[in-house]
Amino acid sequence: MYQTAAWYLSIILMTLITVIFITVVLKTNRRREYESIQKKWYRFRTIYFIALLVVFGTATYFTLQDLPFERPVYGQAENPVVVDVEAIQFGWNMSQTEFKVGEPIEFDITSTDVNHGFGIYDKDMNLLAQTQAMPEYTNTVYYTFTEPGTYQILCMEYCGLSHHLMIGEIVVTN
Ligand code: CUA
């Protein structure tokens, strides 16, 4: 829906720009008294500039009040099971792959070589949680499975010829 709206909006804008462009091209030959126009535009420009200053100044003042922005931590829960995850070309080393429904999990994810992407998918290939797996850095993802089943860990960043083979498995039971 948004895409259709964006599509129509860009068509309208492009048409508008084309019309303005053609108008300018057609009018360039006509001579006009310059002085009075210049004065008029100068006044308009001054007012416009002040208006912009006021609008953006006000917006900046109010939006920057909240700095530094809070970083929400999704899915964090008390006493999670901590799982160490290591991405390697081309696989996943996980300290634990079997979990219980409702058990909060903290995945601490890093990489031994290049950048990978850690993504947890359910059986319908819906992405449930994800983060980057980066060398010499640990990213943390919290997740609590609400349904039993087999879940897949897929690499979400192209990391070499066998990127598509980086598949891990998680089993969640009741
Ligand atoms: Cu690892 Cu793509």
Cβ-contact 110, 85 below 8 angstroms: yes
pLDDT at 69 over 80: no
In angstroms, what is the span from residue 155 Cα to ligand 1's centroid? 4
Residue 52 lies inside a defined structural domain of this protein: yes
Cβ-contact 107, 154 below 8 angstroms: no
Band of the pLDDT at 74, cuts 50, 70, 90?
Answer: confident
Residue having the nearest C-alpha atom to atom 1 of ligand 1: 116
Band of the pLDDT at 36, cuts 50, 70, 90?
Answer: confident
pLDDT at 93 over 90: yes
pLDDT at 30 over 80: no
**Whether residue 88 has its Cβ less than 6 Å from ligand 1:** no
Same domain, 138 and 91: yes
- Residue where a domain stops, chosen among 11, 31, 64: 64
Q: What percent of the chain has pLDDT over 90?
A: 72
Q: Nearest 5°: phi and psi at 18?
A: -60, -45
Same domain, 46 and 107: no
Q: What is the mean pLDDT of residues 78-107?
A: 94
Same domain, 50 and 134: no
* DSSP string across the chain: -HHHHHHHHHHHHHHHHHHHHHHHHHHTT----HHHHHHHHHHHHHHHHHHHHHHHHHHHHHHGGGPSPP---TT--SSPEEEEEEEETTEEEES--EEETT-EEEEEEEESSS-EEEEEE-TT--EEEEEEE-BT--EEEEEE--S-EEEEEEE-S--STTGGG-EEEEEEE-
In angstroms, what is the span from residue 115 Cα to ligand 1's centroid? 7
Same domain, 88 and 40: no
Same domain, 50 and 125: no
Residue 69 lies inside a defined structural domain of this protein: no
Same domain, 47 and 105: no
**Whether residue 157 has its Cβ less than 6 Å from ligand 1:** yes
Residue 148 lies inside a defined structural domain of this protein: yes
In angstroms, what is the span from residue 1 Cα to ligand 1's centroid? 32
What is the average pLDDT value for the chain, to the nearest integer? Answer: 91
Q: What is the dihedral of CA 107, 109, 115, 118, to 10 degrees?
A: -10
Which domain, by its residues, includes 129? 81-173
Rounded CA-CA distance 84/96 in Å is 8
Locate the ligand 1 atom nearest the alpha carbon of residue 160 and give its number: 2
Same domain, 59 and 89: no
Residue 147 in tokens: 């349904």
- Residue where a domain stops, chosen among 30, 64, 98: 64
Residue 75 lies inside a defined structural domain of this protein: no
Same domain, 98 and 165: yes
Q: Domain count for the chain, please give it.
A: 2
Band of the pLDDT at 78, cuts 50, 70, 90?
Answer: confident
Residue 70 lies inside a defined structural domain of this protein: no
Same domain, 118 and 166: yes
Least confident of 4-13, 14-23, 69-78, 126-135: 69-78
Locate the ligand 1 atom nearest the alpha carbon of residue 114 and give its number: 1
Same domain, 16 and 52: yes
Same domain, 51 and 105: no
Q: What is the mean pLDDT of residues 45-54?
A: 94
In angstroms, what is the span from residue 139 Cα to ligand 1's centroid? 16
Reported as a single tens digit per residue, the pLDDT across 8-29 is 999 999 999 999 999 998 888 7
**Whether residue 159 has its Cβ less than 6 Å from ligand 1:** yes
**Whether residue 158 has its Cβ less than 6 Å from ligand 1:** yes
Residue 161 lies inside a defined structural domain of this protein: yes
Same domain, 59 and 85: no
Looking at the DSSP assignment, which residues form a beta bridge with residue 144?
Answer: 104
